Amino acid sequence: MARKKEVELFARIEINLEFMNARILIPVCIWAILIAVGNYQIISSTNKKIEQYHNAPPFRIDSVHHAKNLNHLVDSRPETEWERAVFRKGEPDFTIEMKLTHFYDGVSFVPFRIKGIEWRACQGKTLPPFTAKLFLRESINVDKELRLPIDKLEDSFSFDGAGKKIHSQAINIKTKFISQTDYPTGIYIYTLEVTLPNPLSPNDCFAEIKLTE
């Protein structure tokens, strides 16, 4: 009889321990799953932002009269497009900061070797005629210097249209860049100012503008 009671007691203790373990393990497992899901979402969001930065750097893209969709010109997606909505005589249609003149290789800031600019028309359309100026814009530290950056004209050119869908323009960079270790000293932003004639044909449309190396 005593032996039977001991067996029943041990059985109850074992059941209680299993129940307690289950009560502890279930919340721990749920918490671990929530942490894993949260980390996955953070990593996915970060990767998307990195890819977005790669495709569309957070530089200034300016147009007083029609800034909408200007980012389409530098998003590396030929299916997106920009068309002029308003014309203002004597004013450039838009200004785009394209890319830094240097990139960081882990040790120092090394110059990009830029050879030209490539222009692409929208699907089923052609490039409009235009004039353009390429500036080097100071890459100043706005937290320390309360002023606008200085622009230095490097090259200017024009394109007559001629029904082309793609146009490659060689550029003449006069400034001789060297590697830098103290950002932003000696580092600039390739900045493009574009002016279109008036009127434009309904078939005139920009899809993409990019620097070629």
Q: Inform me whether the pLDDT recorded for 133 exceeds 60.
A: yes
Mean pLDDT confidence for 81-110: 84
Per the model's pLDDT, the better-predicted residue between 185 and 10 turns out to be 185
Choose the weakest-confidence range: 17-31, 160-174, 179-193: 17-31
User: Are 103 and 36 in a shared domain?
Assistant: no
According to DSSP, residue 175 is labeled: S
Q: Which residues contact 128 (CB under 8 A, 6 or more apart)?
A: 161, 196, 197, 200, 201, 204, 205, 206
Per the model's pLDDT, the better-predicted residue between 46 and 165 turns out to be 165
CA distance to 56, 68, 138, per residue, from 133 (Å):
21, 21, 16
Residue 12, SS3 per DSSP: helix
* Residues of the domain holding 102: 57-212
User: Are 100 and 88 in a shared domain?
Assistant: yes
User: Are 49 and 69 in a shared domain?
Assistant: no
Report how far residue 208's alpha carbon sits from residue 8's, in angstroms, rounded to the nearest whole number: 80
Q: Inform me whether the pLDDT recorded for 48 exceeds 60.
A: no
User: Are 42 and 21 in a shared domain?
Assistant: yes
Question: What is this structure's pTM?
Answer: 0.67
Task: Please report the pLDDT score of residue 106 as a whole number.
Answer: 87
Q: What is the CATH number of the domain that holds 171?
A: 2.60.120
Domains contained in the chain, number: 2
User: Are 93 and 21 in a shared domain?
Assistant: no
Q: Inform me whether the pLDDT recorded for 46 exceeds 50.
A: no
Amino acid at 12: R
User: Are 4 and 109 in a shared domain?
Assistant: no
According to DSSP, residue 122 is labeled: P
User: Are 151 and 181 in a shared domain?
Assistant: yes
User: Are 109 and 27 in a shared domain?
Assistant: no
Task: Choose one of 55, 80, 101: the last residue of a domain.
Answer: 55
The candidate with the shortest Cα–Cα distance to 60, out of 167, 148, 144, is 148
Task: Choose one of 32, 55, 78: the last residue of a domain.
Answer: 55
User: Are 9 and 32 in a shared domain?
Assistant: yes
User: Are 65 and 141 in a shared domain?
Assistant: yes
